[in-house]
A = this chain, B = another copy of it.
Amino acid sequence: MALSMDYTRLFCPRGLAVVGASAAGRIKFGTLFTKANLDCGFEGAIYPVHPAGGELFGLKIYRSMSEIPGPVDLACIAVPAAHVHTALEDCLKKKVPWAQILSAGFAESDEDGKRLENELGYFPQNGLRLIGPNCFGVHCPECGLTILPGSGFSRRPGPVAFIGQSGGLAVDLGYSSPGLGFGWRRMVSFGNACDVNAAELIAHFGSDPGTKVIAAYIEGVKDGRAFFDAVKKASCVKPVIIWKGGLTESGARAVMSHTGSLGGQSAIWDAAFRQANAAPVSGQEEMLDTIVAFLTIGEFTGRGVCVAGGGGALGVAASDSAEKMGMYLPRFSNETRAAMQALLPPPGNSFNNPADVGNPMIAAPMLEQIMDIAVRDRAIDIIMVIQILHHMTCVTKQEMDLPKDTSLKSIAQHKAMAEVCARVQKLRGKPVLQILPPIAGEEEEIEVEALLREARRVSHEAGVATYPTLDRALAAVSRVSFYYRRRAVLG
């Protein structure tokens, strides 16, 4: 029979059975998983299943799958590897369409594990699709379905689909997105991929209208052709960001221990990524940075960056970094330079791009005028404006002779800056990013961090992306530009 692909049942199950949840051992994965989904406000029915019966967090524990009264669309299997087969047989009898197998001890461990994993092939053929084994399963903010430890995941849905062979990574990403101003469509940690795999998931999210960006963490694929066909097809309509782990000798050994995958050779993967126009990244931070760029700067194909604010060394670093990443800081036109100098005369300010306003205290309306001149320069495609909130507030406090206990938020211009960036961006149709470096990591300076977080939030709410460093912004933007330029060429 054809494999079932009714993903609505997987991501928004009416009933969720948790096989391995028990009243006795609270430290068990199944028990913790039940609690996480209760805490996250899962909207379907939760059915803990354990032969001993009893009650768990106010929920009845069913002694077997067959006792469950309502429909079960997803079973979460959290029993030792040797008992997984029996649990899945019960699912088949109950006509459960999807199961996620949290249990480890399969192909990633030893020969016995490999045999156990091979035997799982029977179930998908008979109508029970499998996520895992050795995975954390599925998260869907829409219905509150979560993974472990994801009880605190945001319920605000967004347009990004994550698929990956690492559960820990899914957890890190899940907790990172709210602070970066975006939400998830769905997350799938699929571990060893005995059935549902990267190719199928990329094909699914490629044609899912709710998904604008796909991000994937891959350790190995069994069918390279199918995988790259899926990536190529999806990337014609939306960006597919891929982090491929295990492309070095040590890395290859690590993926073998982790998900029983074969790492592969760097040169082959690089070539395939280019052909399929994937956006490759090489770490968690890069993945998040790139997602943010794709979500905020639109179908960007430019290369000319204007850097405004900051200070001399930052501008120099930006220029060096941009060039290494295929971007550049074009020299301003004479008109641009003259217009800027009329506003902020030298010495102390220089306007060859970077627009180095040698003063951390430049007020938002003045920066708006500088940026508005910059975006009118034909060579400029994007503006990155640096605000070092810590210094600015230090100087402002000192200059105004304010009392030591003046709150930073009351004197900072972060709200005005968010508005200014949004206005310039909208008016001229060229993206504006804010660079908000985190300076001062001491315990006593936690107020600066609180201000930074508020500044990021108001900026994100205004549709303006923020990055902690220019380097990270430049790297992310260069990937967006490269992707859309290639897409135009590949047609």
* Residues in A lying within 8 Å of B, measured CB to CB: 26-27, 32, 35-36, 39, 80-81, 103-105, 108-109, 113, 134, 149, 151-152, 164-169, 171-172, 175-176, 178-180, 217, 219, 245-259, 282-285, 310-324, 328-329, 331, 346-348, 350, 352, 354, 356, 358, 360, 388, 390-391, 394-395, 398-399, 401, 437, 439-443, 445-446, 449-450, 453-454, 456-457, 469, 471
CA distance A259 to B314 in the complex (A): 13
- Find out whether the CB atom of A398 lies under 8 angstroms from the CB atom of B35: yes
When distances are taken between beta carbons in the complex, the residues of chain B under 8 Å from A316 are: 166, 219, 245-246, 251, 254-255, 258
| Closest A-B pairs by Cβ, 8 of them | A168-B311, A179-B441, A105-B347, A166-B313, A250-B319, A258-B312, A104-B347, A245-B316
- Find out whether the CB atom of B443 lies under 8 angstroms from the CB atom of A151: no
Q: Which of B175, B247, B259, B440 is the one whose CB lies under 8 Å from A312?
A: B259
**Chain B: minimal CB distance from A441 (Å):** 3
- Find out whether the CB atom of B346 lies under 8 angstroms from the CB atom of A104: yes
**Chain B: minimal CB distance from A113 (Å):** 8
Instruction: Name 18 A/B residue pairs within 8 A (Cβ), A-sorted.
Output: A26-B401, A109-B350, A166-B312, A167-B311, A179-B445, A245-B316, A246-B316, A251-B316, A251-B320, A253-B331, A254-B312, A257-B312, A258-B313, A258-B350, A283-B317, A285-B469, A443-B453, A446-B450
**Chain B: minimal CB distance from A318 (Å):** 8
Given contacts A315-B254, A347-B109, A442-B453, contact A391 B103 (CB under 8 A): no
When distances are taken between beta carbons in the complex, the residues of chain B under 8 Å from A108 are: 350
Given contacts A249-B323, A443-B450, contact A149 B398 (CB under 8 A): yes
**Chain B: minimal CB distance from A58 (Å):** 13
Closest to A390 in B: B175
**Chain B: minimal CB distance from A368 (Å):** 21
CA distance A180 to B441 in the complex (A): 7
CA distance A151 to B399 in the complex (A): 11
CA distance A175 to B390 in the complex (A): 9
Closest to A453 in B: B443
Given contacts A346-B109, A347-B81, A440-B176, contact A317 B450 (CB under 8 A): no
CA distance A399 to B104 in the complex (A): 20
Main secondary structure of the interface of A (DSSP, over half): helix
Given contacts A32-B399, A172-B439, A442-B453, contact A246 B320 (CB under 8 A): yes
Closest to A168 in B: B311
CA distance A489 to B469 in the complex (A): 37
**Chain B: minimal CB distance from A281 (Å):** 11
**Chain B: minimal CB distance from A132 (Å):** 12
Q: Which of B32, B80, B248, B439 is the one whose CB lies under 8 Å from A320?
A: B248
CA distance A398 to B441 in the complex (A): 29
- Find out whether the CB atom of B323 lies under 8 angstroms from the CB atom of A250: yes
CA distance A40 to B171 in the complex (A): 44
CA distance A18 to B103 in the complex (A): 70
- Find out whether the CB atom of B319 lies under 8 angstroms from the CB atom of A246: yes
Given contacts A149-B360, A394-B149, A440-B176, contact A250 B164 (CB under 8 A): no
- Find out whether the CB atom of A442 lies under 8 angstroms from the CB atom of B347: no
Q: Which of B166, B352, B388 is the one whose CB lies under 8 Å from A311?
A: B166
CA distance A109 to B351 in the complex (A): 11
- Find out whether the CB atom of B258 lies under 8 angstroms from the CB atom of A103: no
When distances are taken between beta carbons in the complex, the residues of chain B under 8 Å from A249 are: 323, 328
Given contacts A251-B319, A352-B257, contact A176 B441 (CB under 8 A): yes
- Find out whether the CB atom of A319 lies under 8 angstroms from the CB atom of B253: yes
CA distance A250 to B217 in the complex (A): 34
- Find out whether the CB atom of A178 lies under 8 angstroms from the CB atom of B442: yes
- Find out whether the CB atom of B347 lies under 8 angstroms from the CB atom of A103: yes
Closest to A282 in B: B320
CA distance A104 to B284 in the complex (A): 42
Closest to A392 in B: B149
